[in-house]
Each structure stands twice: as C-alpha cells, then as structure tokens.
Chain A
Amino acid sequence: MRGVDASLRGLGRAPFAGRLAPTLRIVVPLTVLVVLLLVLPHSGDWFHAWLPELSHPLYTRTSFAALTLTHVWLVAAATAASVILGLGLGILATRPSGRSLLPTVRAVAVIGQTFPPVAVLAIAVPLLGFGSAPILLALVLYGVLPVLGQSVAGLEQVPASTLHAADGMGYGRWRRLWEVELPLAAGPIMAGVRLSAIVSVGTATIGSAVGATTLGSPIIEGLIGNNPAYVVQGALLVGALALSVDGLLGAVERRFQRVR
C-alpha cells in the first residue's frame, strides 16, 4: 500500500530535467524562426544576386509575419479541437461501459491514417467553401488520430493494481480518472498532442494547394510559377516553425513524462 501511495503522490511532479540538449531544441529553431521573420522581408537583393533571372525574387503577396500567424493560428485551433475530441473519445473507449467501442475506434484510426491529407482538403472545400473552415476540418480530422491513439495507449497501460488501489482508497470514478489515470497517462497523451501539432503544421502547408493562405503559399506558388526563391523562403520558414513547435511541445511532454 505504501508503494502505491508514494506512486500516487509523486504524480505529475516529475522534475524537469534541465539538460542542455532539450533546451537547445527549443531555442535554436525559435531563434532561427525569429531571425528569418526579421531578415527575409529585406533579403530581396540576396535572392536577386543568387537567382538573377527572376523578376520577383521576394514573395510579397502577403507578409511572412502574417503567413506565419495564420499558420500558427490554424495549427493551434486544430490541435485544441483535436485534444478535446481525441482525449474525450479515448477516455470514453477505455471506460467499462464504452470498452466495446474500442475496436471500432482503433479501426477508424487505422483507416483514417491511409487517407491522404490533400484529398481530405480537396473534398472538404466543395462541402464547406473556400477559406479556413475546410482546412480546419481536415486538420482536426487528422489531428484527432494521434491524440486518440496515444490516449487509449496511455490509459490502457495504467497498471490494474494501481486502479484497484485507488478503488480501495475510496476514490470515485471521476476522481480516479482525474487524479490517477490521467496523470499516469500524461506522458503518452502529450506525445500524441505533439505528433498531432506536427502533422497539422505539415497539413496546413499542403492546405495552400486548395487556396488556404499559409506558409505553404510561397512554396506552392513557387512550384507553379517556377520561382525557386519563393519555394526556399516558404520552406525555410515552415521548417523552422515545425521544429519550434516540436521543441516546445517536446519540452512539455518530458515535463509530463512519469518518473518511476
């Protein structure tokens, strides 16, 4: 009993290992992103020197800062919705009354993984019209899968003995979920959230193929208009953004990772 008690008390308070590498993984991409945002708008001359044959060496249709903001907003909104939906479904499918749904939920996740993101975007547009609505729908449909999968995996791996101990201590169903199961599953769930956000950054990039204005717009326009400068500008920014998101959420994930 004492062991279980100790493991219950230590939950959610894993000390953040202040190692150098994880910090670098946040600082370096974030710095690169900020520097790119500051420098790129004034880099027309460099791109002209590199590719003198281009008449428009700098993407100016929308400012890079505005593109980054829309991109971040889309990803944040989609990830938030994915967490609510995915975690909710994950909790439902691991309760005794909802357990029979688990195989169906798994099947949906497996089949969903085979759908190409572009296609979901393309099919959502005629249903919802152009703009952010179809992009958000596609991002959420994609983002839910990793959160759901990791929530189920995390909640399933909570040892039965721990659950029995919590029951024995008189924890109610909700208190057990909130104070025992979710903290113990927080590591895997956060891994799912990080994956979901990364997938969303990539899908939002492709979203510009169906008319969304994101950091993918310079890439797509560059590919269509044979302008490598646009492609490089968009790709550098979106790469730095993806690595920043990965670094930040990775730090949160390690914070939640349980110490045994």
Chain B
Amino acid sequence: MSETRTRGEALPILVLSTTALLAAAFLPMLHVAPNRLLAGVPTSPHTAWLFAAWGVAIVCGAVRFRGHGVVVASIAWLAVAGLPWLAGMSADTILDGAARTTRVQLASGFWVTWLAAALLLLDRLRGTRVVVQAGAWGAALAVVVALTVTGAFDGLALVREWQAQRAPFAQAVVVHVRLAAITLVLAVLTGGPLGWWVWRRRRADGIVVGLLAFLQTVPSLALFALLIGPFAWLARAWPTLGALGFGGTGAAPAVFALWLYALLPVVRYTVAGLGAVPEDARDAARGLGMSRLQVLWRVQLPLGWPVLLAGLRIVAVQTIGLAVVAALIGAGGLGRFVFLGIGQGAIDMVLLGTLGIIVLALTVDLAFQVVLALTERRA
C-alpha cells in the first residue's frame, strides 16, 4: 500500500516532465515568418538543453533520492523564468542580419513546455508556506519583468505587435475592464435583491432560476446579435437615448447581454449565501429585537459574505470571457484584437488579445481569492 502511495506522489512530476520533454522534442519552439501575415517556418533551438533539464526531472521523479523535490522545483522555476529568456535570445540571433519585416513567433512547443513547467512549479509549491509560494512566483515574475524592461524580448513578434499597438491595446484593456465592471455592479444591484426575494419565497425559485437558466443556454453570439434590433429600435424611438450613445451596436446591448448572463450565478449564490446562515443565528437576532432588514444587514450579510464573494469571483471571470464576443457587436475591448487579428490573418494580434484576456481573468481571479482569504481569516 505504501509502495503505491509513494509512486503516486511522484506522478505529477513524471506526467508534467514527460509532457514538457515530448513538447520540446516534437513541437516547434519558434516560427520564423517573413512578415506579420505570412505563415512561419518552425525552428527549435536549445532542444538539447531542454531535453537534458526535463530528463533530469523525469529521473528525479522515477528515483526519488533525498532532496529530489527541490531539484525538480528548481528546474520548473528555471523553466518558468528562463524559457522566455531563451526564446528572446534565439529571436535576437535569428533576426541578426535578417530582413526587417522578419517575425519570430512563439510556437506551440514553447507554450506547452512553459505551461507544463508552470503547473509543475504549482504542484511542487503546494503544501509549502504562503511566503515561499508568493516568493517563488514573485521572483519569476520579477525576472520576466526585468527582462522585458531591458529589452530581452524585443525580438519576439508578440512584443513587437504590442509595441506597435501600445495605445489601442491599453485602451482595449480599459474598455474591457469597464464593460465587466459595469456588468458586475448592475448584476449585484439587481441580482442581490432578486436573490433575497427568491430566498424569502421559496416557490419563486423555480420560475426565476428556470427563466435565467433558459437565458444562460442561449449561445452568447446569438443573444448579442438578437439584441441589436430591439436596441436600435429603442434608440430610434427615444432620440435622447441615442444621443447618449445608446444604440443597436456598442456598449449598451453588450452590457445588457452580459448582465443577463451574470444574473443567474449572482441570484444562485445570493440564495446560497443567505441560506448558509443558520436559522438559530437569525432567530437569536430577531429575539434581540432586530428588524428583518437589520437581520439581513448585520447578521446574514456578514455571515453569508464568503459564499457571495465566491459567486462574484465566478461571475467576474465569466463576464471577462464573454465580453470577448461583445467585440463582434462593436463594444470594443480585447475581443477587438482577437477578431481584427482573425480578419487580417495576423496571429500575433490574436495572441496579444488572448494573452491580455487570460492575464486579466487570472488577475481578477487572484484578487478575489486574496479578498476571500482575508475575510475568512477575519471571520
């Protein structure tokens, strides 16, 4: 039994290191393209180094000598921080003497290897103290930021694309965050009371949640597209609304659709949060002479807060993802980069938008986790 357990514990090391090794062996690290739009030729410099590093990690997972965990964690950390540096150096070497339009793009091998390394680091750091985890990730981030500032990645197509579109990109991030934030505030302001009402009268639960689940099923593109007609009509019927920038396309129908999608989770988690408060606590508060609103404000909200916050975290990440599609009806945001990139066949532009969205979603997710941890500690 203990035999299987120790073998099992090394499984993540073996699986992730083998994935990284295979990716380094069979997938291209970089694509060298003659310009921004044409397809590239795959190249894989540094394969021998990567092979050696992941080979050592696999041996560590298989043999498990004393201290093998530290070795594997070091390899993972070095890969997370060092792979981009290697790619940047290779790009500079390739670009040396090449035509000015030449682009060196990060290819599938790089992404798979890097992701495997990040997951391996995540796995190795689990169980260590928060300080160690934050330190390791912070140091890796610091290295990458420092290399970016010193221009080590300037040869990479992704960075060139960003440098060429710095202002529109920053603006797209702002628009994206604004769309998500307005949606979230609206969803909480309406979904919170709705959830409270549903919680008070259990029978309304079926109808309200059923209706919202029905809306959730309709594909986002269809809902966004169907709202164009009614919103254009509204803007025509009330010109004041149209003057305020309210119309068939743009932010108004986008926020409306995002709000509809956000309502279901907000209502569900509000009901769950209110239900998470024990009846005894409510009875006791009522016995102390509190009114129903006071009970809600001073007992149920503080006690049900963690559940609500967990729900908001899910809604926030979902909204950031859905807002990408909103670019198709002219709401802007990072989705614009993705769709413009698709239209032009410029893969770097798509990648830039995508990375922006992923980083945004992960940042918001992390922020909610931190707030959640802080409130839980206080409680």
A interface residues with partner B (beta carbon < 8 Å): 96-101, 103-104, 107-108, 110-111, 113-119, 122-123, 126-127, 198, 201-202, 205-206, 209-210, 216, 219-220, 222-223, 228, 231-232, 234-235, 238-239, 242-243, 246
Contacts and interface: CB of A to CB of B under 8 A. Distances in A.
Given A111-B362, A234-B222, A119 B357 contact: yes
A202 B221 contact: yes
Nearest to A113: B317
Interface in B318-366: 320-321, 324-325, 328-329, 335, 338-339, 341-342, 347, 350-351, 353-354, 357-358, 361-362, 365
A205 B222 contact: yes
Instruction: Describe B's contact surface by its main secondary structure.
Output: helix
B338 A228 contact: no
Interface of B: 4-5, 7-12, 15-16, 39, 108, 119, 122-123, 126, 214, 217-223, 225-226, 228-229, 317, 320-321, 324-325, 328-329, 335, 338-339, 341-342, 347, 350-351, 353-354, 357-358, 361-362, 365
A20 B285 CA distance: 42
A98 B11 CA distance: 7
Given A100-B8, A201-B219, A231 B228 contact: yes
Contacts of A114: 317, 320-321, 357-358, 361-362, 365
A122 B229 contact: no
B218 A223 contact: no
Contacts of A205: 219, 221-222
A114 B313 CA distance: 12
A104 B219 contact: no
Contacts of A117: 321
Nearest to B362: A114
B123 A97 contact: no
Contacts of A118: 324-325, 335, 338-339, 342
Contact of A228 (B228, B335, B357): B228
A246 B210 CA distance: 12
Contact of A116 (B4, B219, B222, B357): B357
